């Protein structure tokens, strides 16, 4: 929790939350990852690793998870907590370059990034990078604290198939799945 608060104080707009994700939110996010596909799951903005832990618990192999986190302090903690997972310190707006080493298909991108609180050009850049790196049959899983029913962005050739409220999170959140 200390690392989360330190990152929050250092850059609140990039953190986007005042508390780490709950296990209820993490379980909902992980439930939408197709576990038996070839390729990798990329997690954007892992924070303290609540969703990372749930991905492992749900059956995703550590060798099939790549985490991208911008906070150096959180990256250090994540590397200690999950030594078998590739943890990359970097900005999701440079996702294609950050994943240039990875030759396997990215079948899922799961994001805790606060896209609504980022400056619009930054959010659009991140979404463009997701669109470029996610496979044609891939899934993009995002949560937001907004309960607005209208999607606030779109990925070219993707459509939202799930939009579910998670009340057992502080604050309550909405999980959206795009295919």
The domain spans of the chain are: 2-178
pLDDT digit string (tens) for the chain, length 179 residues:
444 444 444 444 443 445 678 999 999 999 999 988 899 999 999 999 999 999 999 999 999 999 999 999 999 999 999 999 999 999 999 999 999 999 999 999 999 999 888 898 999 999 999 999 999 999 999 999 877 655 556 677 788 899 899 998 989 999 999 99
Instruction: Give the model's pLDDT for residue 152.
Output: 56
Instruction: Give the model's pLDDT for residue 18.
Output: 54
Instruction: Give the model's pLDDT for residue 158.
Output: 85
Instruction: Give the model's pLDDT for residue 128.
Output: 93
Instruction: Give the model's pLDDT for residue 113.
Output: 95
Helix, strand or coil, per DSSP, at residue 83: coil
Helix, strand or coil, per DSSP, at residue 93: helix
Give the side-chain half-sphere CA count within 13 A for 86.
14
What whole-number distance in Å separates Cα of residue 89 and Cα of residue 73? Answer: 10
Radius of gyration of the chain (CA): 15
Instruction: Give the model's pLDDT for residue 30.
Output: 97
- 2-178 has which fold? Rossmann fold (3.40.50)
Q: Are 111 and 44 in contact (CB under 8 A)?
A: yes
Q: Are 166 and 173 in contact (CB under 8 A)?
A: yes
Considering the entire predicted model, what is its pTM?
0.86
């Amino acid at each position: 929790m200390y690392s989360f608060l330190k990152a929050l104080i250092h850059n609140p707009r990039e953190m986007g939350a005042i508390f780490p994700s709950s296990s209820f939110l993490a379980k909902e996010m992980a439930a939408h990852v197709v576990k038996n596909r070839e390729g990798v799951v990329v997690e954007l903005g892992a924070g303290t690793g609540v969703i990372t832990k749930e991905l492992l618990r749900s059956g995703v192999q550590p060798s099939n998870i790549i985490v991208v986190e911008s906070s150096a302090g959180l990256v250090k903690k994540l590397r200690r907590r999950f030594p078998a997972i590739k943890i990359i310190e970097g900005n999701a707006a440079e996702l294609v370059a950050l994943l240039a080493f990875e030759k396997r298909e990215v079948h899922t991108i799961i994001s805790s990034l606060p896209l609504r609180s980022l400056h619009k050009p930054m959010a659009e850049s991140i979404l463009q990078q997701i669109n470029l790196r996610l496979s044609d049959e891939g899934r993009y899983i995002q949560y937001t604290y907004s309960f607005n029913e209208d999607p606030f962005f779109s990925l070219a050739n993707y459509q939202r198939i799930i939009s579910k409220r998670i009340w057992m999170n502080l604050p309550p959140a909405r999980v959206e799945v795009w295919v």
